[in-house]
Structure 1
């Protein structure tokens, strides 16, 4: 058997297989097979290969990128909705997927642009970064603010530049489609004519018939059984609580001059400007994942620049023009005043060991090799004690009030830990009285229950069902309450006997509205058969009311259904009135309406500037739609992988 295997493995087929294996190893590297690859993306977009399945490209949306966008949208929604913002609803899987889809669309657009040969130059990236207001001081780009902002957001310089590059690429592609979304003058005129169209109507108001209060018990019972959700008492809770207000704590604190002087000495740096070290740098960038050889080459280049700068420090700004940091290269590598902690420990260790006028050896940071230059020292200043005494005293009193408040709050918590089902010990510990609320629901209440944090704490499971004292509930800065539910009434359906009058009113009104609707539909049928609106109105002893010049925008929101129906009606033909329709009125009756005339502006008299604006808007809408269609087509061609478990 072994001999047969040896014989077969020495044939031309085996040699061909061996050659193909060696070729694959040479092209893709043995490490592709030996080293396990750990995926860490939220979504991945892969384009098809260009030739025989080879040459595929991919773009990943990292988990960090998704979280940053998700948090950004959360902050925007919280600011827009205010107290109405529902944090739990925002965390829904559907919302996460919606935001991820936006990032996927951007990745699809980026990959499509790259495959189309679109490139964003370094100069364009640099111009975009320099124009961002968040990085400016007094209207000018500030390198220190730029670096600090990146650090706070968790970006490296290279990472942020890549983000800006992708954003520019996406916006460029969208703008190209928008620019290609052309609209002619005739289309603009037609759009304006539609927007400015006015309609003349005649209508007859059909009020509710006289309400017949008579109803049988069977009818009321049937209505009640089919509308039980309308006749429920809401779930309520009643609480007792102890409130602690820090603004009243330690109101008569004595001020000790010795303590104030000591605080001044401890915090002198807060009452002036600290000394500042002004520096510059040159960056030789090393891309993430670069080989050891590429890192060594970058280090060698940085060493050459460092030697040149050490020999002639006054030429540092000129040498910095070769820096890969596009944000500072044009300004001679200027970083402005530097404080510890802005650029990390490795930077601080090298820079703060320098003397004024000294240039460092290359320093390895996450984005590459840096050559640092300590240009000058700006001495600090300190205000005298007398000038800041009032400020120190105010801060001291505030800290003492906070300390006293925390001490009292701690006593309350300790008392609860010893007896979790009673508020009396906690109230006694701080000299307060236990108060009681009126019943309130999950969504509203009076007094203390008007506060959402209080209602949320009261309806928490362990507080509501176990009648335990809540944790401290903060209702304002330095203002907390402890509460305990003393009465809980679940939501319940009210018996028919208790709500019979309300049921009767609802049933009678519904019956009247259905009768009015049936009457209106019958009258509309007569109108559509050719009977005039005037004859129909006369049969009802109701007047025909004209409504002239009705535009697309209702004067008040309540009339939106009327306007919508008016612009749905068929146009008049050959001088005869147009179509008719019915619509429910805000008062509960119906309108039977008929279109009399359609009036559009004379396009020949339109302002040329208005037509040009309409053409631009129409073109932009068309371009936006084309961009969306482009992304949809790419989505069909590309493979999109979503890691739901990482969202």
Structure 2
């Protein structure tokens, strides 16, 4: 039965795209200001789509966010287009999220929450794309990262402020949330219930007319439903790979460089002493002296401490400086002035009086330049090679910035340029089921689909410090429907199915009425005298339905939403027919009080509650700050993105 439903929903071209709108909240919060296109301000309707207190959400904000959202969604849904995104409510959801994040920022600033420049700098330094070959922040890499995303430093900093502000202000909504056992048990009963019913299918082709569709009908249908036939954007990638061996003739470290490195790290090679210490802290000097007196009889520090309900702490091996930082300079001097096994104290400590025992003394002789020459030579050689790689990469990027092509640089490096077949945004090969781009391209597919056009070469690091790649987009085919002539037969079939769907709906409504009056669903379908799929009997637990996840057939989903004794109709996508869904009985489930599943269920319900609290908190912040939407500007943005009115 389940396979029949899945086959019934399948089609050859243009299966409708479903947006997971819940996921877009995270997307807007994470990347609503750092996207892959430039600004679009100054369009009809004004330069802002909303005012949030003294702040604003500009037209460029929402257009960049929409562009970025579509690029992200295309990774899982290659047929996603900006028109589909807008039509299915994506733009409205993004606007709500951008207003939310702006309101959170305005609320935080109003009540003194501050995100400092040093904190922002540390967040930027963590961005992998902003790091150089040595894994440290690189200004050149950072600027390339910004250019690739059509962003500026100010844009990114604003996005980080808003993201961190939201993290600080919204996180408390999770604190102390719990769900009562009674509520969990009630929900558990729903989740373990069983439903009994029936589903009849009236496929459109069983009711479609025998007379073929005319050319005029086919043309009109194609013009009105072009989005259904849209092919996803395809791009080929040209690339050439090279290793760090391309950097030749890196000079060996000189004696002066080795000596300078030794001087720079001289403290690491100097003679050192550390001591292993055990400490007991007492509240008063008198208590410390009493312990000291007992130790004089030969008892150990640990034994005496235990007899008083205390515990001596092993401080491990500490240098004089480390001990001074933990306690005080006086304590460190006393500990380092005593011999092995000696008891030091009582001494005044930050939190009372301390007794210290010197367990061992570890000394390390100093090492001169001759002793560490080999070690330093290796370090200096590695540093020079990293620097040479950085310079080499910078020269390649500079050549690209100055107009050099991929083939020019490949020829200069003695590399062969390869080109992939047409790829989709998720890296799969267009038109070849199961085929994927070469594994070494995994890191650059997303970057290639973020490029604005063809022949814009870039340099990428595939394996840190070892393998590199120069690449660009070879060919770019935008998302668009194929010419009618190529798919005329498919469109003609869809025209006939649309006529069949209308006839099937009329029949389905008559059967629905008959079943509501007490008629039998199977008998009503059989009475049509047509060759139709048999009525499917359903006897299923809700847990079986949930196990299907996103593969759940919509008629089954409807069955588990209906009230007992009801009959409902459901249209199939793309005019493929109609379902008649009848729910005959609901058998409540029972869960034992000690069922281990209750814990996971309680956790899930608590997560839903915290999400609701977070939404309420954001709503309250919006009310507090004040939000005004500019509907004219929103309409202008929508028209610009979809091309309406052009």
Q: TM-score, normalization: structure 1?
A: 0.48
Which has more radius of gyration?
1
